[in-house]
């Protein structure tokens, strides 16, 4: 009992640190009016590496962006390291300069210097490139991190032969000044082809941050198993050049703990005795970010790491130099003497060229007071409230470019269209709900049916503009809508093929769309929201390869599709936020038994074998006291196992 209470308290503290205590208070039933555009309600919105992130972050851009824009043949300057030089107080940006597609020509490292805290920049040119006589054979030397210590500058950098997928790793260099010359060690720190695979899959080392500790040196770096899984590893050495210890995975999707998938780290930074590791999603939109942290002196230990902030870390501005969101790894930053987090971030412009940009925010004030951003870049983004309303009055103020949908009675299942990088919304996410669609010059009230049909209930013209004021009232089966001060619709809603109204509200922006929500005030009685997560979410969350599963279109699965494991050691994992879970699954003659683990602890063992095929139904359910981050993992015990969907209840 004591252990359970301690676990619950730890999760509660982590939850409060990430979203603020006001988000929990907002779960109180009977609240008359709540404005979900206030940052104290940030935790009431669903955010996800694939679906998108309604971000309340307080970053604002510095004048003069971008400080660098790619040009042929180096069209993708899409990584970088932002370095504050203690002796001179100058700012430096080391830029990983790639050709489009990364492979050709061989990448290099450029250096930019500012002597006036970012108001102006000087391009100092190439400071690191391959050498035919070195281990890289004249190949790639793009991404670096730099530390000033003991009167010298120390660098760890990526290297790769001309085909870096065949050979590469990490290497060390030093210099007397940031501008160089940089003296490269004759042998690399890691050579990927000689490394033992961790977890049977992680071998390639790249995107490393070098950090000085009290008595040794630490490297935090990336390992990948593309296109499905990425992991953060650590290794230590008594000297910056090495020799380094074995690699230890400190964050990975294979763990039973909550870990959002598809995240790439690099670079990290140290502040007040902690190391912070921002990470950006490599889903299609690249508009979700998280921050992990650990005490610097224990950062090589997996148990020292926690999820410090989940979402609301970063937003993209509606500017041509940020058209693709963050592109590359993630932002690079340091906290200056005035307590400001200074950040460099890479993106791509409307023509697909890489851009290097600057932003800042108060370190101790990560959120703006009100207003959030939801952006669609190469694909749509979606967010839902983790509270539901049967009847409601909504008053919203938005600034929109592109197409937005207000989602009502949302009952569609959630999941990526593929469990891999560049994932977007599953087609089933555009079913089973009512939507008010707002285009630049037209509005439409739509019913999205379970089979995918879209029925237009009503539509009409709009005056062209970006500022919209929305008022909607729902009473039983009647809906009234005012848009920009004019009544657009009032009447009973037609019958639907969907189940009973869910009461779940949300927002969806289409590709190449951008919305700022300044007000989203709801009057009504909130209740817990129920959401269903597909099997694609479970494979994504475990870093599983679809090649190890047989996808089937079968009415015995709840939404008509599912997967069945090919091997006998299958594993699936949902990373979810909520307090109650119901596992849906079919039973049949071809299935075996499965172990259900919640947050790493065995919750049940289920026998899914049956003499005849039985359609999907609840096979396990549990309720927990903490409405926070949880993992629900399935591990095969015997035979082949089906994976269908998980129903999650969130909010109080």
Could you give the C-alpha distances from 65 to 89, 349, 434, 523, in angstroms and in order?
21, 11, 40, 41
Burial 362-380 (b: 16+ CB within 10 A, else e): ebeebbbebbbbbbbbbbb
What is the rounded average pLDDT of the residues 625-648? 96
Instruction: Identify the burial level of 33 via C-beta atoms within 10 angstroms of its C-beta, where 0-12 means exposed, 13-18 middle and 19 or more buried.
Output: exposed
Q: In the chain, what are the domain boundaries?
A: 26-56+375-528, 60-366, 534-650
Quick: pLDDT tens for 29-49: 344 799 999 999 999 999 999
- Confidence band for 497, pLDDT divided at 50, 70 and 90: low
Q: Are strands 274-281 and 289-295 parallel, antiparallel or unpaired?
A: antiparallel
Q: What is the pLDDT of residue 499?
A: 64
Cβ(625)–Cβ(5) under 8 Å? Answer: no
Q: What is the pLDDT of residue 498?
A: 62
Phi, psi of 4 (to 5 degrees): -65, -40
What is the rounded average pLDDT of the residues 543-566? 95
User: How is residue 612 written in tokens?
Assistant: 């005849």
Quick: pLDDT tens for 472-489: 999 988 999 999 999 999
Judge whether residue 24 has pLDDT over 60.
no
Q: What is the pLDDT of residue 193?
A: 96
- Confidence band for 418, pLDDT divided at 50, 70 and 90: very high
Q: Do domains 26-56+375-528 and 534-650 have the same CATH topology?
A: yes
Q: Which residues contact 555 (CB under 8 A, 6 or more apart)?
A: 615
- Confidence band for 145, pLDDT divided at 50, 70 and 90: very high
Note the CATH architecture for domain 26-56+375-528: Sandwich (2.60)
Percent of the chain with pLDDT over 70: 95
Q: What share of the chain is helix, strand, coil (3-state, %, to 5)?
A: 10, 50, 40
Whether the CA torsion 23, 24, 27, 29 is positive or negative: it is: negative
- Confidence band for 14, pLDDT divided at 50, 70 and 90: very low
SS3 for 429?
helix
Q: What is the pLDDT of residue 648?
A: 98
CATH of domain 60-366: 2.115.10.20
DSSP string, 215-234: SSEEEEEEEEETTTEEEEEE
Neighbours of 89 (CB within 10 A): 11
- Among 2-11, 193-202, 263-272, 477-486, the range scoring the smallest mean pLDDT is 2-11
Q: Which residues contact 116 (CB under 8 A, 6 or more apart)?
A: none
Judge whether residue 354 has pLDDT over 80.
yes
Quick: pLDDT tens for 356-406: 999 999 999 999 999 999 999 999 999 999 999 999 999 999 999 999 999
Cα 16 to Cα 22: distance, rounded to the nearest angstrom: 9
Judge whether residue 15 has pLDDT over 50.
no
Quick: pLDDT tens for 226-256: 999 999 999 999 999 999 999 999 999 999 9
Quick: pLDDT tens for 91-111: 999 999 999 999 999 999 999
- Among 5-14, 313-322, 506-515, 621-630, the range scoring the smallest mean pLDDT is 5-14
Could you give the C-alpha distances from 419 to 346, 499, 540, in angstroms and in order?
25, 27, 4
Q: What is the pLDDT of residue 27?
A: 36
Judge whether residue 19 has pLDDT over 90.
no
- Confidence band for 434, pLDDT divided at 50, 70 and 90: very high
Q: Which residues contact 523 (CB under 8 A, 6 or more apart)?
A: 32, 33, 392, 393, 394
- Confidence band for 12, pLDDT divided at 50, 70 and 90: very low
What is the rounded average pLDDT of the residues 542-556? 95
Whether the CA torsion 66, 72, 77, 83 is positive or negative: it is: negative
What is the rounded average pLDDT of the residues 532-557? 96
Q: What is the fold, at CATH topology level, of the domain defined by 534-650?
A: Jelly Rolls (2.60.120)
User: How is residue 530 written in tokens?
Assistant: 């129920």
Q: What is the pLDDT of residue 476?
A: 87
Query: For the chain, how many helices (H) and strands (E)?
Result: 3, 45
Residue whose entry in the numeric block shows the structure tokens 């909550």:
258
Q: In whole numbers, what is the pLDDT of the chain averaged over residues?
A: 93
Q: What is the pLDDT of residue 30?
A: 45
Judge whether residue 532 has pLDDT over 60.
yes
Q: What is the pLDDT of residue 501?
A: 82
């Amino acid at each position: 009992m004591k252990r359970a209470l301690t676990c619950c308290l730890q999760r509660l503290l982590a939850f409060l640190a990430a979203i603020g205590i006001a988000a929990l208070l907002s779960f109180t039933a009977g609240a008359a009016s709540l404005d979900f555009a206030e940052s104290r309600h940030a935790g009431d919105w669903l955010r996800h590496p694939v679906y998108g992130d309604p971000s309340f972050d307080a970053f604002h851009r510095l004048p003069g962006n971008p400080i660098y824009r790619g040009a042929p043949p180096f069209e993708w300057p899409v990584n970088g390291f932002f370095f504050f030089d203690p002796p001179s107080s100058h700012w430096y940006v080391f830029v990983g300069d790639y050709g489009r597609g990364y492979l050709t020509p061989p990448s290099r490292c450029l250096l930019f210097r500012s002597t006036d805290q970012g108001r102006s920049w000087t391009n100092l040119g190439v400071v690191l490139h391959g050498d035919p006589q070195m281990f890289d054979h004249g190949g790639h030397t793009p991404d670096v991190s730099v530390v000033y210590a003991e009167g010298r500058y120390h660098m760890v950098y990526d290297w790769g032969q001309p085909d870096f997928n065949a050979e590469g790793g990490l290497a060390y260099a030093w210099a007397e000044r940031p501008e160089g010359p940089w003296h490269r060690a004759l042998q690399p720190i890691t050579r990927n082809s000689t490394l033992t695979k961790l977890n049977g899959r992680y071998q390639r080392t790249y995107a490393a941050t070098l950090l000085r500790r009290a008595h040794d040196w630490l490297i935090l770096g990336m390992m990948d198993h593309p296109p499905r899984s990425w992991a953060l590893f650590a290794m230590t050495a008594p000297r910056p050049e090495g020799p380094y210890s074995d690699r230890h995975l400190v964050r990975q999707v294979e763990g039973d703990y909550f870990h959002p998938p598809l995240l790439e780290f690099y670079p990290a930074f140290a502040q007040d005795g902690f190391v912070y590791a921002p990470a950006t999603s490599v889903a299609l939109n690249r508009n979700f970010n998280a921050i992990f942290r650990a005490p610097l002196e224990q950062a090589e230990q997996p148990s020292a790491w926690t999820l410090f902030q989940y979402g609301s870390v970063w937003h993209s501005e509606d500017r041509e130099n940020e058209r693709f969101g963050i592109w590359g790894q993630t932002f690079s930053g340091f906290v200056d003497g005035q307590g400001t987090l200074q950040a460099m971030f890479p993106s791509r412009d409307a023509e697909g060229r890489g851009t290097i940009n600057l932003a800042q925010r108060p370190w101790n004030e990560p959120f703006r007071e009100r207003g959030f951003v939801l952006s669609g870049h190469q694909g749509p983004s979606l967010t839902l409230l983790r509270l539901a309303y049967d009847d409601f009055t909504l008053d919203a103020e938005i600034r929109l470019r592109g197409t937005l949908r207000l989602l009502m009675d949302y009952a569609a299942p959630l999941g990526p269209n593929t469990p891999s990088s560049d994932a977007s919304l599953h087609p089933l996410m555009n079913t089973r709900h009512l939507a008010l669609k707002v285009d630049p010059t037209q509005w439409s009230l739509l019913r999205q049916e379970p089979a995918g049909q879209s029925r237009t209930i009503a539509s009409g013209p709009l005056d062209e503009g970006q500022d919209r004021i929305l008022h909607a009232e729902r009473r039983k089966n009647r809906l009234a809508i005012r848009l920009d001060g004019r009544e657009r619709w009032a009447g009973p809603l037609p019958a639907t093929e969907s189940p009973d109204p869910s009461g779940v509200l949300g927002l969806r922006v289409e590709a190449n769309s951008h919305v700022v929500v300044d007000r989203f005030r709801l009057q009504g009685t909130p209740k817990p929201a129920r959401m269903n997560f597909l099997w694609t979410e479970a494979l994504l969350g475990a870093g599983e390869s679809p090649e190890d599963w047989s996808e089937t279109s079968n009415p015995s699965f709840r939404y008509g599709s599912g997967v069945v494991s090919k091997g006998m050691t299958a594993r699936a994992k949902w990373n979810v936020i909520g307090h109650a879970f119901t596992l849906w699954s079919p039973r049949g003659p071809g299935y075996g038994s499965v172990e259900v683990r919640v947050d790493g602890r065995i919750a049940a063992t289920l026998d899914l074998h049956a003499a005849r095929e039985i359609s999907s139904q609840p096979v396990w359910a549990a309720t927990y006291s903490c409405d926070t981050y949880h993992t629900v993992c399935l591990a095969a015990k015997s035979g082949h196992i089906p994976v269908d969907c998980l129903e999650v209840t969130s909010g109080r």
